[in-house]
Chain A
Amino acid sequence: MHHTQADEGSLLVRLRAGDDEAFRDVVNQYDAGLRRFARGYLSTGAAEEAVGDTWAKVSTSVHKFEGRSSLKTWIYRILINTLRTSAAREGRVVPFSALGHDTPDLSADRTAELLADSGRGPGYFGTAASQWDELPAEVLEREELLETILAAVDQLPPAQREVVQLRDLEGLSAADASSALGITAVNQRVLLHRGRVAVRRVIEEYLTHAR
């Protein structure tokens, strides 16, 4: 379930009024995603603690939320700030852009990749791509495949994982994901593309053996 703008407006009114049921609804909706995100950077125990701290801050600060982003983006921003604090407390170097480190302009990397590929020309695809998108829905929606996809997202390099999680698992817009992670729009798209391509390879591999 994703909240529409109207739903979110009424939900916010209830949250600001201290409605416990509304708070439980929001926790049920986003908690699993927050835990998945936090586990990418902290031990399970520390991740749980960071998510707990995040919910406490959401509860005490929701009256300050001005609605300039979606509620989900705001909650993720609180989590990211909490992770930053936890990482600093543990003296950990957390290798991802969400913690406020500037990432280099990845479009330069992409240009280099394109130049490296430039000799391929029209024969870029060595072999005909298999058309797994034409497989029946019961194969494409198999629970095992969906679990394989989640595991593939978890195994992406951190910077790709966080973008794929926010954009494709959680459904944040490009602007909201870039803003929550503190990265440029261009880098967000390059990381997203690389992450999607890597997950796509895992899907293709799974379906090749599943036929």
Chain B
Amino acid sequence: MPADSPQPITDDLSVTVRCAEVVELLTELLDDALSDTDRQLIEQHLAGCEHCRIELRHLQLTVSLIAKAGRQERQTRV
């Protein structure tokens, strides 16, 4: 785990993480900034939780729409 990573949720993969914890860590998941254990926990949770999968898709689309808005602004100003 990189030195600047947040404290891991747990080292124990048998622990069940809650949706509240998962949605808070989605940006870190997208940045590939989670410890291996946390990433596995989040991925396990996502595999069984449609709501969190939708949250992840919405966050990914938000990121892509912000980038698109930035590109459009640059194009209109050039």
Contact A170 B51 (CB under 8 A): no
Task: State whether the Cβ of A11 lies closer than 8 Å to any Cβ in chain B.
Answer: no
* Mask: chain B, 1-37; 1 = CB below 8 Å from A; 0 = not: 0101111000000000011110110111001010000
A122 interface residue (CB < 8 Å to B): yes
B58:A200 contact, CB within 8 angstroms: yes
Whether A169 lies near B4 (C-beta < 8 A) is no
Interface centre among B19, B58, B72, B78 (most CB of A within 10 A): B58
**Residues of B contacting A: mostly:** helix
Chain A residue total in the interface (Cβ 8 A):
49
> Quick one: CB contact mask for A195-211 with B, threshold 8 Å, 1 for yes?
01101100110000000
Contacting pair B69 A149 (CB below 8 A): yes
Q: Does A146 contact B (CB under 8 A)?
A: yes
Q: State which of A44-52, A58-66, A93-101, A126-134 sits at the interface with chain B.
A: A126-134
Q: Is the CB of A122 within 8 A of B24?
A: no
Please, which residue of chain A has its CB at the minimum distance from the CB of B9?
A114
The stretch from A15-23, A26-34, A71-79, A81-89 touching chain B is: A26-34
**Quick check: B4 and A186 within 8 Å, CB to CB?**
yes
Q: A171 at the A/B interface (Cβ < 8 Å)?
A: yes
Please tell me which one of the listed residues B2, B4, B54, B68 contacts residue A129 in the complex, with CB atoms under 8 A apart: B54
Chain B residues closer than 8 Å to A141, beta-carbon distance: 68
In the complex, are the beta carbons of A150 and B67 less than 8 A apart? no
Using A28-B78, A147-B69 as known contacts, say yes or no to A125 and B51 having CB atoms under 8 A apart: yes
Rounded to whole angstroms, the CA-CA distance of A114 and B73 in the bound complex is: 36
- Contact partner of A196 among B5, B21, B59, B73, CB < 8 A? B59
A184 contacts chain B at the CB level, 8 A cutoff: yes
Binding site for A on B (CB under 8 A): 2, 4-7, 18-21, 23-24, 26-28, 31, 33, 51, 54-55, 57-59, 61-63, 65-70, 72-74, 77-78
28 A–B contacts, CB within 8 A, in A order: A32-B74, A107-B6, A110-B24, A113-B24, A129-B54, A129-B55, A133-B57, A141-B68, A143-B72, A146-B65, A147-B69, A149-B66, A153-B69, A168-B66, A168-B67, A169-B66, A169-B67, A169-B70, A170-B70, A186-B5, A186-B6, A192-B27, A193-B24, A193-B27, A196-B59, A196-B62, A203-B62, A204-B58
